[in-house]
């Protein structure tokens, strides 16, 4: 049985002595021949209860860690796994945009294995992906690979395709960001991340995912003041197309009066994401 406590998204949850205390474990596993690292947030556990699993997927390069969201979802009763992709923040290998969904898929499959699901009391039918910025791109493209994931949550998702093939100044901005902000990542060359995006942008674009996502639970959250991943270019083309298709899936879009990282609305963001998951959990 899944039991969630959304009332604790924005406040501390009192610990009951008979329960297992919340804890943090290290994530270390092999993805495509390289060791990747991360953290696992284990919620307070009451005997007889199982927990949803949420993979929080960071953006490029990962400065906005969304740790506050991870802790909020754990207080609510979710197991939260935050992986660092190959080439990012100590993980082995080289960082590539196309490698991010591969790593997320590896982590998701590991987390629902019998051994790990039993260890962390995970309900394997309650698996969610929640990605910010380029992590939203990872969410979209991992959902395409994993039809059993219950829902994807995309916060200020960044779609490289319109950035590359839109206005020249947008293309130039993307290239500059990849070359400068990407210095903290392990790259095969100075241009390898950019070259990877150019080669894969169309096939991994949001609109290219429509057929695979049209009957999937999806929640988009955009920022009106977002100058990096403008919702009109990144979210709305796919969402408008989804709205033309009749489905029983729960597909939502909220637009907050905030910026790309929701810097002034973090608590509101945590509540929205948590309540969406709680509304779907059985």
* Tens digits of pLDDT across the chain (282 residues): 788 999 999 999 988 877 789 999 999 999 999 999 999 999 999 888 999 999 999 998 878 889 999 999 999 999 999 999 999 999 999 999 999 999 999 999 999 999 999 999 999 999 999 999 999 999 999 999 999 999 999 999 999 887 776 666 677 777 777 777 878 899 888 888 888 888 888 899 999 999 999 999 999 999 999 988 999 999 999 999 999 999 999 999 999 999 999 999 999 999 999 999 999 998
Task: Name the region of 266 (left: φ>0; alpha: ψ -120 to 50; beta: rest).
Answer: alpha
Could you name the CATH architecture of 6-280?
Answer: 3-Layer(aba) Sandwich (3.40)
Helices 67-76 & 266-280 angle (0-180, nearest 10): 40
Alpha-carbon gap, residue 133 to 234, rounded angstroms: 10
Cis peptide, bond prior to residue 74, ω within 30 of zero: no
Which is nearest to 188 in space by CA: 86, 116, 274, 270?
86
What is the model's pLDDT at position 213?
97
Distance CA 188, CA 228 (A): 25
Question: Where do we find the tokens 């130039």?
Answer: 172
Continuous H helices in 90-152? 99-111, 114-120, 134-143
Domain edges within the chain: 6-280
């Amino acid at each position: 049985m899944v039991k969630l406590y959304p009332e604790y998204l924005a406040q501390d949850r009192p610990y009951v002595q008979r329960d297992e205390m919340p804890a943090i474990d290290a994530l270390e596993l092999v993805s495509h021949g390289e060791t990747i690292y991360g953290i696992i947030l284990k919620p307070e556990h009451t005997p007889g209860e199982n927990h949803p699993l949420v993979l929080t997927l960071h953006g490029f390069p990962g400065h906005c860690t969304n740790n506050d969201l991870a802790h909020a979802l754990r207080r609510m009763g979710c197991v939260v796994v935050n992986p660092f992709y190959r080439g990012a923040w100590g993980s082995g290998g080289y960082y590539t945009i196309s490698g991010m969904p591969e790593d997320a898929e590896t982590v998701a499959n590991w987390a629902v294995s019998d051994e790990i699901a039993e260890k962390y009391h995970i309900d394997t039918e309650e698996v969610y992906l929640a990605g910010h910025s380029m992590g939203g791109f990872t969410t979209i493209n991992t959902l395409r690979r994993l039809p059993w994931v219950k829902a994807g949550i995309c916060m200020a998702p960044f779609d490289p395709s319109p950035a590359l093939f839109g206005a020249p100044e947008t293309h130039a901005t993307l290239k500059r960001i990849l070359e400068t902000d990407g210095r903290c990542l392990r790259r095969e060359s100075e241009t390898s991340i950019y070259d990877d995006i150019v080669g894969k942008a169309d096939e991994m674009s949001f609109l290219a995912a429509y057929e695979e996502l049209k009957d999937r639970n999806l929640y988009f959250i955009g920022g009106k003041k977002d100058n990096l991943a403008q919702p009109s270019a990144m979210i709305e083309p796919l969402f408008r197309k989804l709205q033309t298709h009749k489905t029983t899936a729960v597909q939502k879009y909220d637009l907050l009066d905030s910026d790309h990282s929701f810097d002034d609305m973090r608590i509101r963001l945590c509540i929205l994401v948590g309540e969406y998951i709680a509304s779907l959990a059985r």
